[in-house]
Amino acid sequence: MERYTGKSVFGGVAIGKLFLYEKDEHQVKRVKTEDNDAEKQRYYKAVETAMEELQKLHDKALKEVGEANAAIFEIHQMMLEDDDYKESVEHIIDSQMVNAEYAIAQTGDNFAQMFSAMDDEYMRGRAADVKDITERLLSVLSGDSQSGINSDEPVIMVADDLAPSETVQMDKSKILSFVTVKGSVNSHTAILARTMGIPALIGSDIKLDKSINGRQGIVDGTNGCIYIDPDEETLERMKKEMRKEQEKKELLQTLKGKEDVTLDGKKIKLYANIGNIRDLANVINNDAAGIGLFRSEFIYLERDTFPTEEEQFAIYRTVAESMAGKQVIIRTLDIGADKQCDYFGLDKEDNPAMGLRAIRICLTRPEIFKTQLRALYRASAFGNISIMYPMITGVKEVDRIKEIEIEVKAELDSQGIEYGNPQTGIMIETPAAVIVSRELAKKVDFFSIGTNDLTQYTLAIDRQNTKLDDFYDPHHPAILAMIKMVADSAHAEGIWVGICGELGGDLNLTKEFLKMGIDELSVSAGKILSVRKVIRETNICEL
């Protein structure tokens, strides 16, 4: 048995096979060959395997997400069999006497470029598909699994680090737990683990070696350790622990359908944070009263090109309709810092957390911002959507946003396009916004405090820097004083105030927040029922 440690970002126990995630970077070398026929055979065999993989994915998707969504795998199969693609690969192998990998990579690049240059938007979109099938073929040839999990059963995923853009693409139903060597407790991988309600460790000392693949592992998220090939005693002890966790979960289920109200009658908006439309099932299952933070930037991170207005509209509308009249607060894109999107074409920055991110991108690139706002306004005609702006530092930004909102509405009016009347709010996540919160409260419908960034900017601690985790203290008196100050400013101006940073789900502080007068807590879906329990046991007057 081997035992390694890590910092826990979500409790609980996971038992399953280990899977080492390695980045999908196929560095293709051009290698001369004498035997072009053998290289072509390797290519044909790879196509066959890829076709089988796609068929499996198609069948699975058909069951889980329906025909329309499964169709993409059929398209990929058609592309794999496309004569032009095939002829190009064969021609490169024959004429240059090179390896199959090089011919495939070259063909993929050429075709992707060709599609990208087309006028038709649908055809331009096919560039990503060509890249996808090319990567799949290269993965088959190198014997690796492709961007994720090559296993029929759910696994404990072990990785050096995981970027948000990588985690969004993973098949979450196959992940029992995350264990990473890098990453901080406030990284988005950690947030994802909390959203999924699965045990996770970061900053682990586990050895990243392919030999762990397929071996049995146990992640003890409560005590911050991982076992490989556990002995009988450990396995039994952990299974017992898992059963206990399960019982606790079942007990919480009795709170479903109950109101979020304190003993002395204050109603709290207990909402959920999501990053993705796929998180909705968890939100509904855990009985959240609304969505307090939809991190819309994940829509951008999942793609290779800007999501169109129509694509965004469809997503926002689905979320609003699925929540059936409950409030859905959608935050405009918070790209930048650790959430980098290549196609935004942003310059590399020395200090990205303090750089061009979030609302700063939107105000300097209004065409991107307006596309999102149009989609949001249009979707707000189909449900209870509110719009929230991140990284605000002062009144000037809010005034400029208001001007852009007016422009967007005027454009929609002139085109005769229907839209609703969404509430608009801002995130309070910079110390400057805290200080001027009274002025800001005059301009918006609500505040939501982003304690992750507020802690980073107040304590001058990079939330991504794992070495600083011991200094990253969201319980610091300065942070709590700021939260109180923001609550008072909001109430003085008659608006509501919530917390959507990770601190909102910290059960040690729930009572403190209620005492401060916080009206809304937006937490990961897995935490809803635990927070509900504390709310219902609290008497604010007695605090």
Q: 342, exposed or middle or buried, with CB in 10 Å at 0-12, 13-18, 19+? A: exposed
Interacting stretch for ligand PEP, rule CB under 6 A, among 34-42, 106-114, 445-453, 465-473?
A: 445-453
How many other C-beta atoms are found inside a 10 Å radius of the C-beta of residue 241?
Answer: 17
Catalytic-role residue among 225, 341, 362, 500: 500
Distance of alpha carbon 153 from the chain centroid: 22
Nearest residue (CB) to ligand PEP, 134 versus 455: 455
Does position 295 bind ligand PEP by CB under 6 A?
yes
- For Mg ion, the binding residues in 437-466 under the rule CB under 5 A are 450, 453
Does position 452 bind ligand PEP by CB under 6 A?
yes
Does position 199 bind ligand PEP by CB under 6 A?
no
Nearest residue (CB) to Mg ion, 201 versus 483: 483
Interacting stretch for ligand PEP, rule CB under 6 A, among 99-107, 172-180, 360-368, 444-452?
A: 444-452
Whether residue 85 contacts residue 20, with contact meaning beta carbons closer than 8 Å, is answered with: no
Whether residue 153 contacts residue 171, with contact meaning beta carbons closer than 8 Å, is answered with: no
Q: Does the annotation count 362 as an active-site position? A: no
Closest separation between CB of residue 452 and Mg ion, Å?
5
Catalytic-role residue among 76, 188, 225, 341: 188
Does position 307 bind ligand PEP by CB under 6 A?
no
Which of 339, 319, 338 minimizes the C-alpha distance to 329?
319
Distance, in Å, from the CA atom of 89 to the CA atom of 357, rounded to the nearest integer, reads 41
Which of 304, 373, 305 minimizes the C-alpha distance to 333?
373
Does position 383 bind Mg ion by CB under 5 A?
no
Interacting stretch for ligand PEP, rule CB under 6 A, among 318-326, 377-385, 408-416, 450-458?
A: 450-458
Q: Which tokens sit at 158?
A: 């072990």
Distance, in Å, from the CA atom of 520 to the CA atom of 447, rounded to the nearest integer, reads 10
Distance, in Å, from the CA atom of 298 to the CA atom of 321, rounded to the nearest integer, reads 20
Whether residue 319 contacts residue 291, with contact meaning beta carbons closer than 8 Å, is answered with: yes
Distance, in Å, from the CA atom of 439 to the CA atom of 447, rounded to the nearest integer, reads 12
Which of 212, 239, 241 minimizes the C-alpha distance to 228?
212
Nearest residue (CB) to ligand PEP, 136 versus 295: 295
Closest separation between CB of residue 186 and ligand PEP, Å?
7
In three-state secondary structure terms, 387 is: strand
Q: Does the annotation count 341 as an active-site position? A: no
Q: Strand 423-428 to strand 216-220: parallel, antiparallel, or no bridges (unpaired)?
A: unpaired
Polymer length of the chain: 543
Among 334, 397, 462, 506, binds ligand PEP (CB under 6 A): 334
462 binds, among Mg ion, ligand PEP, none (CB under 5 to 8 A by kind): none
Among 425, 450, 498, 505, binds ligand PEP (CB under 6 A): 450
Does position 336 bind Mg ion by CB under 5 A?
no
Closest separation between CB of residue 26 and ligand PEP, Å?
31
Does position 352 bind ligand PEP by CB under 6 A?
no
Contacts to ligand PEP by CB under 6 A: 293, 295, 334, 429, 450-453, 500-501
Active site residues: 188, 500
